[in-house]
Structure 1
Amino acid sequence: MELNPLLQDIKQRKLKPIYFLMGEEPYYIDKISEYLSDTILTEDEKAFNQTTLYGKDVSLDEVLSTAKRFPMMAEYQVVLVKEAQDLSREILAQTDKKKNQLEAYAENPQATTILIFCYKYKKLDKRKRVYKAIAKSGVIFESKKIYENQIPTWIKDEVKRRGYNISPKAAHLLTEFLGNDLAKITNEIDKLELILAGRNEITPEIIEENIGISKDFNNFELQKAFGVKDYTKAYRIIEYFAQNQKNHPIVLTIPILYNFFSKVLLYHGLKDKSKGSVAKALKINPYFVADYSTAANHYPMREVSGIVATLREIDMKSKGINSVSATPIDLYKELLFKIRS
């Protein structure tokens, strides 16, 4: 089930007896389970009718026994099972002749219980009888991991949902600094929202002032400097990176440059170089198409192929392969020299 219709159904109290929240991305599992446990019962009802269990501390039999109870002076009781993946062996237990416990419960659930499973980092096999039984009487929500190249768009949508805007560069700065950890990203957006003070756009300057990410010394600016052949600026950035290796490890920077120049190589091969077509083909925000076009103008296809090969070589060396003693600054200088040559 999709997220927004699910939340809308809960808001309208179109409730199901079982919610099985599973998948690689814990952020949505936490958000949905919190929304369910916050909205179904009133604060007075929660004292007697809301139970939180942890998979590592209980058996599935105990969970289902709790679910079979009746609520006290309330329409529903809520049973929230956190870290339910620790019960996976019991949840998936199945023989040809005997139904497993959860399958049997799902076929005849307690109508006055809302049973919520937070099954993180795993998912049920759709071919299993237990999956089919839960899907028939309840809701199965799969929380899929968002890839890092999708994060800037996710940030933009999240900020827009809150009534603000964020510049593309600012969204990429947050992505570079926080990766695809949605919980961390949300926490930082929460902080930024508090300090906007009447302003309606999150800019790189606001991020630099309040989160500590430099708007001038980051991977985005490094790839842009290489793209326009501003080697003086590139050298200043790599010197800064070498002196701040904890925040700018070379093993993360090289793959970013590799990704950039690989897409420049793809750009060279495109027949249709219109903005929309390039953005779709390279899977980038249209705002950044000009960066790839500029880099392609500065570096012919053969030259870009050589840079991609060099980046593969430097990546191996940064991981200690064929170069045990080279320091990050040595490798950055080697990269800069070979790109300039």
Structure 2
Amino acid sequence: MSKGIPTLDEVNNFLGEDSLLPVYFLAGKDKFSLENALEQVRNAVDPLIESDFDKEIFSLDKGVDLNSILDSASSFPFGSKKKLIIVRGFENLSEKAKLLPYIISPSDFTVLVITHNAELKSATQQPFKELAAKGYLFADRKLRPSEFAEWTIKQAAKLGLKLSRDNAYMLMDFVGDEKALVEGQLQKFAGFLNGQGEITSEIIENLSSSTKEYSIFELQDALSAGNKKKSLKIILNLLDSGNDILRISAMLSKYIYTLASAIEFKKTNVSEMEAAKKLQVSPYYYKKCVQARYMFNEKRIHNAAKALLNLELAIKTSSIDPKTVATILISEMLQ
């Protein structure tokens, strides 16, 4: 993604009544950020809408013709200051360049909001190039761990809750770095704390661990103990629960990297607190890794890293079933 393109979280900076853009193109895989940005635009434009006829929502995954939508965007409002047209599912459109003529000359009385629920890998092709040039393109950006921790702390504060940086990392360790999942956990904590107080490590461990029958971290615990049967059962359960095999692989790669780093830190007498800080993980997560009885071994870590590499190659270069790959992965990691 090209530098200089504002993120979905920055949409609010472009929503002044006298400076509304004619087009907001919202792109990204993170549905939470996408929907939040869409809601912000909708809230800014709604006060200018006096007739329901001046507000339309279309979905491009249902065979709707883009030209008919653009014709509607080009027609005058029924009596409102603005028209609001929301178009979902641009990622489903095969002939995306059809949007280009409208982007070059958009209607000044219409606010056209388009969502593209997929990663936008390049802004050099049309219509994305023109959208970026006009300042109409907003794209999701993968946050670094430190940035995601900061975002989590701010979201907790909006709910009236305190959350330390270490515990923000701990929450990420438990539920991952998907904003929707983290937001769901924060809402759960807010209910538990009646909207005030501090989210402690005990609350995170007790409430987050019950989100699924099995979690990535229970898989790591089973691997740490060298329990092949339980590890296989958990990883297959994770796949059945809708978890993507590459996401599981990414989490396990982080686990193996932390183990390998922990061995090196131990050789140089780096404290657990300092090591966790260097790796941008919670002290809780780091301590769990250090306590891995079976996996805290250089040869086994090497085997595990090799097995994870083999998994990614198999997934990306063949049509092999994820469950088959997962079974091979566990067998190779714990051979």
Mark the CA change 1:187 to 1:45 in structure 2 (over 3 Å): closer, same or farther.
Answer: farther
**Pair 1:116-2:109 in alignment:** no
Equivalent pairs: percent with the same residue? 21
Mark the CA change 1:123 to 1:312 in structure 2 (over 3 Å): closer, same or farther.
Answer: closer
Matching residue of 2:96: 91
Matching residue of 1:196: 193
**Pair 1:309-2:281 in alignment:** no
CA apart distance, 1:104: 2.0
Residues 27-82 of structure 1 show CA distances to partners (whole Å, capped at 9, x for unaligned) of 22211112212331239625121110111332221121011011222211111001
Residues 219-274 of structure 1 show CA distances to partners (whole Å, capped at 9, x for unaligned) of 658869999xxxxxx59x9998788777668x888975663343343355578958
Amino acid at match of 1:81: V
CA apart distance, 1:118: 0.3
**Pair 1:51-2:56 in alignment:** yes
Matching residue of 2:139: 142
| Structure 1 gaps, min length 5 | 93-100, 228-233
Whether contact under 8 Å (2:235, 2:326) holds in the other structure is no
CA apart distance, 1:193: 1.7
Structure 1 Cα separation of the partners of residues 53 and 27 of structure 2:
27
Structure 1 Cα separation of the partners of residues 95 and 148 of structure 2:
35
Mark the CA change 1:248 to 1:147 in structure 2 (over 3 Å): closer, same or farther.
Answer: farther
CA apart distance, 1:275: 8.2
Matching residue of 1:63: 69
Whether contact under 8 Å (1:261, 1:304) holds in the other structure is no
Matching residue of 1:31: 36
**Pair 1:42-2:42 in alignment:** no
Structure 1 Cα separation of the partners of residues 37 and 191 of structure 2:
24
| Aligned 1:218-297 pairs, distance under 5 A | 259-267=254-262, 269=264, 273=270, 278=275, 282=279, 284-285=280-281, 287=283, 291=287
| Aligned 1:157-196 pairs, distance under 5 A | 157-166=154-163, 171=168, 174-175=171-172, 178-196=175-193
CA apart distance, 1:291: 3.3
Structure 1 Cα separation of the partners of residues 262 and 218 of structure 2:
20
Mark the CA change 1:311 to 1:35 in structure 2 (over 3 Å): closer, same or farther.
Answer: same
Matching residue of 2:24: 19
Whether contact under 8 Å (2:24, 2:111) holds in the other structure is yes
Matching residue of 1:97: none
Whether contact under 8 Å (2:21, 2:111) holds in the other structure is yes
Structure 2 Cα separation of the partners of residues 322 and 105 of structure 1:
47
Structure 2 Cα separation of the partners of residues 105 and 199 of structure 1:
48
CA apart distance, 1:113: 0.6
Amino acid at match of 1:263: T
CA apart distance, 1:143: 1.2
Structure 2 Cα separation of the partners of residues 169 and 220 of structure 1:
17
TM-score (norm 2): 0.68
CA apart distance, 1:287: 4.1
Structure 2 Cα separation of the partners of residues 17 and 290 of structure 1:
48
Mark the CA change 1:221 to 1:246 in structure 2 (over 3 Å): closer, same or farther.
Answer: closer
CA apart distance, 1:17: 0.5
Amino acid at match of 2:43: D
Mark the CA change 1:223 to 1:167 in structure 2 (over 3 Å): closer, same or farther.
Answer: farther
- Identify the match of residue 104 of structure 1 among 101, 104, 108: 101
The range that moved more, 151-160 or 72-81, is 151-160
Structure 1 Cα separation of the partners of residues 282 and 155 of structure 2:
19
